[in-house]
């Protein structure tokens, strides 16, 4: 018995235009097009499964990109922290504009991290 897709995707398939349907069919890969050709799946079921698959892949990609961006932010913070002790050794007694920028970057990273956690919780 074929795997049935989420009913939400079945409703979305019904609302697709002919051009959108063709594009979605053209992106099918793996066993899905073969199952469609052998009439094991209806066209609507295959489209719904493809939409569901693409949404899952998009969510996975977004999660990976969020992780990469967090790593990049951490690296920037480490580089900024390394630069700060050098500035103190050089004899600067006033807080530099770099330290203010570092503080802003730290706050922005915390806000992004919190937002990503909240988004993933949904």
Task: Give the pLDDT confidence of 26-69 residue by residue, as tens digits.
Answer: 998 888 888 888 888 888 999 999 999 999 999 999 999 999 99
The separation between CA 22 and the C-alpha centre of its own chain, rounded to angstroms, equals 25
Report if residue 2 sits inside a domain: no
pTM attached to this predicted model: 0.56
Range of the domain at 85: 7-121
Indicate the helix (H) or strand (E) that contains 64.
Answer: helix 43-89
Q: Does 42 map to a domain?
A: yes
What is the pLDDT at residue 1?
A: 37
**What pLDDT is attached to residue 50?**
92
Q: DSSP letter at 21?
A: H
Query: How many independent structural domains does the chain possess?
Result: 1
Q: How many CB atoms lie within 10 A of CB 122?
A: 4
Residue 36 placed within a domain: yes
DSSP 4: P
Contact 91, 112 (CB under 8 A): no
pLDDT tens digits, 82-112: 887 665 555 555 555 556 667 777 777 777 7
pLDDT at 9 over 70: yes
User: According to the model, what pLDDT value does residue 120 have?
Assistant: 67
CA–CA–CA angle 70, 76, 79 (5° rounding)? 145
């Amino acid at each position: 018995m074929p795997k049935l897709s989420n009913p939400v995707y079945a409703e979305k398939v019904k609302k697709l235009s002919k051009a959108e349907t063709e594009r979605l069919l053209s992106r099918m890969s793996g066993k899905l097009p073969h199952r469609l050709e052998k009439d094991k799946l209806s066209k609507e079921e295959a489209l719904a499964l493809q939409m569901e698959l693409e949404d899952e892949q998009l969510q996975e990609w977004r999660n990976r990109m969020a992780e990469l961006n967090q790593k990049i932010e951490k690296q920037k913070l480490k580089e900024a922290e390394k630069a700060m002790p050098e500035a103190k050794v050089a004899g600067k007694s006033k807080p530099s504009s770099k330290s203010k920028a570092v503080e802003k970057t730290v706050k922005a990273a915390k806000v992004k991290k919190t937002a990503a956690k909240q988004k993933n919780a949904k």
